Amino acid sequence: MRVYVAMGWAGGGWEVSGSEGEGLLYRRRGHDGAVLEERRVRPSPEAWRAFQERLRAIGVHDWEARYEPDYPVCGGTAWAVRLDGRASTGEDAYPPNWAGFLDALSALVGLRLE
C-alpha cells in the first residue's frame, strides 16, 4: 500500500507519504512552504493491517475524484489523498467519513492529524 496525504497547501499544512515497505515520512510546513517539522515513522505490520481494515470500513476507495463546495473558494483548505494509485482531492469540501480517515491515519503515524 502506498499513501500520500497533504492538507492546507496555501497556508502551511502537513503531508504524509510512504508505504509499508519504506515507512512513512511526515512533514509539517509553514505558510512559506518551508519544512517546520519532519519525522520518519515505521508502523508495525499490525498497525498497517488495522489501517487497511479501517480504510475498508470507511469506504475510502469509493470516494469521488474531486470534492468542491457549492460556493466560490478563495484561500480555502486544499487536500489530496492518493492510495494505491487512486486519487481524491478537494478544497473546502470533504468526502464522507473524512474524520474517520484522519483518525485512522493519525493512529498509523502516531501523531494527531487535523
Q: How far is CA 90 from the centre of its chain?
A: 12
Instruction: Give residue 78's pLDDT.
Output: 85
Domains in the chain: boundaries: 2-109
For residue 14, give the nearest of 41, 36, 46, 32 by alpha carbon. 36
Instruction: Give residue 3's pLDDT.
Output: 72
Following DSSP, what letter does each residue of 27-79 receive, concatenated?
EEE-TTS-EEEEEEE---HHHHHHHHHHHHHHTGGG--SEE--SS--SS--EE
Instruction: Give residue 53's pLDDT.
Output: 97
- How many C-beta atoms surround the C-beta of residue 101 within 10 A? 23
pLDDT values of the chain reduced to their tens digit, one per residue, 114 residues: 567 787 776 668 889 999 999 999 999 888 888 899 999 999 999 999 999 999 999 999 999 999 999 887 776 788 899 998 889 999 889 999 999 999 999 999 999 998
Instruction: Give residue 70's pLDDT.
Output: 87
Q: The pTM is what?
A: 0.89
Name residue, grid cell 508502523.
Answer: 43
Instruction: Give residue 25's pLDDT.
Output: 95
- 66-67 vs 86-91, strand pairing mode: parallel
Instruction: Give residue 40's pLDDT.
Output: 97
Cα(105)–Cα(79) distance, integer angstroms: 14
